[in-house]
Structure 1
Amino acid sequence: MNILQALFFPPEQPGGVSSMVPYVQERFQRMGWEMEMFSLPKRIRNKGSEEVGFETFDWKVYAGHPVVDKYIQTYKDYVWWTKLRIRKSYDLIHAHHPIAALVMKKLFPDTPVLMTVHSSYERELILNGKIASGGPEHSFLTSIYRELESTVDQLLTVSHSFKQYISDYVQDAERIGVIPNGFDEKRFRPMPHENAVPQFITVCRLVPAKGLDTLLRACAELKQRGHSFVLHLIGDGDSRPELEKLAVELNIYEETIFYGYMLHPEEFMPFFDVFVLPSRAESFGSVFAEAALCWLALVGTDVGGISEQIEHGVNGLLVPVDDAHALCLALEKLVLDPSYRYNLARAAGEKAKRMYSLNRVIHQMKSVYDTYRK
């Protein structure tokens, strides 16, 4: 069976999809399957010019809004690039972005197209202050879910909570399958260590949706309560200058290290003690599973896919969104009790190996792919 994995970003870009699909491809190829990856290079801009039309709604009523216009132009660019580069047929196409899915089905209508919805672009834009909830851009982006349902052969997503979110925008949510992300265990090498000062780490884009302002305020309170720590922030984004300024204002800049983007943070992660990320929304939260496989204690917010990964007090700690005091108390608990921290980390690692192994993903994907064998 010859399968195309259609991405939006090139696989070297940060994110859960990029970190998983190349390993999926490698594993299927080792099993004798033909599998290739395809994506739109970042340098491709404003090349496409074909008219765009959707079956389930008229996108032109939203034209003139920057997010909508950029989305439509990117769709056109993906059409242009796909026509230029793909010269063969496939038995199945598995898309990992709505634009990729809709373009592939448009250009290859006789080929089964599966679509995994990995995240909510509209929720992220709202949380990052880029669009208004209930505004035209929001309506356009949520209309895409119904278009996907109508167009592709199978919709998948990465968590039950995100399936529930999508259900408000489709006609038959029961048809949506759930395959959580999976990770190649060989990438993660837990490292037994003893840090004299507790080391916190987070890995994410530095944008408002990730709640890093809450994390900095929690760490400032932790310092005021007399606890030593170092906070390592791996990632980059528009909020970095604002976050660095906030760290200075809160008097924790000396305890905080801003690294910028790192291609393979899993090689760095095992030397730390606690992974903490107070996201305001998260469809799955791949980095929590990655941190668990590095044997780190987990602290996250009780939202989306995070709360499906963390059972509070068993394999990590959950706190409410935007509650810096609750986050401070959770971190304090782990600072004060290394044995508790150790036990949470081991429980998190065991669950991640059991639930989020690449073997499980391969088995589930193979079952879906097999239904489309000719």
Structure 2
Amino acid sequence: MTGDTMRILHVLNHTNRLNGHVHAAVDLACAQREAGHAVAIASGGGDFDTLLTSAGVETMVLDHRRRPAVLAASALALHRLIRRWRPDVVHAHMMTSAVLAWPGCRVAGIPLITTVHNAFQKSAVLMGLGTRVIAVSAAVGASMQARGIPASRLDVVLNGTIGSIRQRGRERVPVTLDRPVILFVGGLHPRKGLPDLLEGFDIAWARHPEARLCIVGDGPFAAEYRAMAGRLACARAVTFAGAQADPFGWMLGADIFVLPSHADPAPLVLPEAREAGCAVIGTDVDGIPQLLGDGRAGIIVPPRDPQAIARALCDLLGAPETLHRWRANSQADIANLTIARVMHETSDVYARALADRGRPLGAIVM
């Protein structure tokens, strides 16, 4: 390490779009490179490799397929990469990445930083292999402590994406939609709670038939959710737009953004919805309240409660001044959701890990 510059090696399973942990890792790596650090990503490769290369981030292929022979070969390959590239820190973003990186870091005496992006997975405890463990929200930090990760090795760095390199040059043109529009952006699988929104919207639509619901995203339950919407009285007011490479234009064209998740450690979609100026409704789970300023920047409702979603929608749809106020509220302390803040706080974690280098790892509860 020379002066304040570092050599940082990120390890993650792939660099494809439409995965929140990938977006977070790519944003961080590019911000670190812009700050003058030498940065590389070892992964299975994917959509963002061209962007990473253009930003000056080195990309290296590391197979993450969960087959014993493949993992053994990849762990050895990563060990050799660490010896050759000589990073100051290695930063692993998923469980397999942490397992692959741990032996090489131990042998080389290099701190391993892990970020817990998906605390709802049982295997997230493997992130405790890190010298220091980053939780993407306070709720994730509490969850990891409950699983046996010592508080002394945990740091909370709240997710933020505003100002990231992925967003530069994007057209800030709203998608033209029939208004008022309620928007959902996310994967179409049970954890995101879309059926709760469909039922809640159906209730609200009975009082406000001018309202429209637009669903952006795709996933394994897409056909089931389309069929579910088709059986509701509000069916003609619901549009499934499919996956979009950049849903920000849809957010700019929407009035209300709803995230009805049952579990969501710190969804990056919320900073973007707030940046777009939507009034935001989110469930009281995991990192969602923290990303909504604990209710100052968005309306928080109980999870799995379509009636509560309906009441919040009706409050906004029935009173233009209330809708306007919550759209303005979405901007409260929005500077806290920038990638610059994430990068600086992560640098502080690296500094603590380097200061602690050589101290034995605490026991890991498996």
Q: TM-score when scaled to structure 1?
A: 0.79
- 2:68 — aligned with what? 49
Distance change (3 Å), C-alpha of 1:179 and 1:45: closer
Taking the aligned partners of 1:257 and 1:78, their CA distance within structure 2 comes to 44
Distance change (3 Å), C-alpha of 1:84 and 1:216: farther
1:295-314 matched pairs, under 5 angstroms:
295-311=277-293, 314=296
Match of 1:157 among 127, 130, 135: 135
Match of 1:27 among 15, 24, 31: 31
Contact preservation (8 Å) 1:297, 1:341: yes
Query: What letter matches 1:19 in structure 2?
Result: H
Partner of 2:280, secondary structure, is strand
Match of 1:95 among 77, 92, 95: 92
Identity %: 24
Taking the aligned partners of 1:227 and 1:315, their CA distance within structure 2 comes to 27
Partner of 1:108, secondary structure, is helix
Distance change (3 Å), C-alpha of 1:193 and 1:41: closer
1:269, distance to aligned residue in structure 2 (A):
1.7
Taking the aligned partners of 2:64 and 2:136, their CA distance within structure 1 comes to 29
Tell me whether 1:368 sits opposite 2:356 in the alignment: no
Superposed CA RMSD:
2.9
- 2:161 — aligned with what? 183
Partner of 2:201, secondary structure, is helix
Query: What letter matches 2:22 in structure 1?
Result: S
Taking the aligned partners of 1:45 and 1:177, their CA distance within structure 2 comes to 26
1:288, distance to aligned residue in structure 2 (A):
1.1
Query: What letter matches 2:203 in structure 1?
Result: E
Structure 2, unpaired ranges of 5+ = 1-5, 47-61, 358-366
Tell me whether 1:318 sits opposite 2:300 in the alignment: yes
1:196, distance to aligned residue in structure 2 (A):
6.4
Tell me whether 1:79 sits opposite 2:78 in the alignment: no
Query: What letter matches 2:68 in structure 1?
Result: S
1:47, distance to aligned residue in structure 2 (A):
8.0
Structure 1, unpaired ranges of 5+ = 51-72, 123-137
1:251, distance to aligned residue in structure 2 (A):
2.8
Q: What is the total number of aligned residue pairs between the two structures?
A: 328
1:113, distance to aligned residue in structure 2 (A):
0.8
Tell me whether 1:115 sits opposite 2:93 in the alignment: no
Partner of 1:333, secondary structure, is helix
1:1-374 matched pairs, under 5 angstroms:
1-10=6-15, 12-41=16-45, 48-50=67-69, 75-76=71-72, 78-79=74-75, 82=78, 88-109=85-106, 110=108, 111-122=110-121, 138=122, 141=123, 145=125, 147-149=126-128, 151-185=129-163, 187=167, 197-311=179-293, 314-353=296-335, 355-371=336-352, 372=354
Taking the aligned partners of 2:130 and 2:288, their CA distance within structure 1 comes to 28
Contact preservation (8 Å) 2:208, 2:317: no
Contact preservation (8 Å) 1:269, 1:294: yes
1:54-80 deviation digits (Å, cap 9, x = unpaired): xxxxxxxxxxxxxxxxxxx7x557537
Contact preservation (8 Å) 2:229, 2:238: yes
Taking the aligned partners of 1:195 and 1:339, their CA distance within structure 2 comes to 21
Taking the aligned partners of 1:286 and 1:20, their CA distance within structure 2 comes to 8
1:226-253 deviation digits (Å, cap 9, x = unpaired): 4322211111111111100110111333
Taking the aligned partners of 2:66 and 2:307, their CA distance within structure 1 comes to 49
Contact preservation (8 Å) 2:90, 2:111: yes
Q: TM-score when scaled to structure 2?
A: 0.80
Taking the aligned partners of 2:239 and 2:74, their CA distance within structure 1 comes to 38
Contact preservation (8 Å) 1:289, 1:356: yes
Query: What letter matches 2:153 in structure 1?
Result: R
Query: What letter matches 1:4 in structure 2?
Result: L
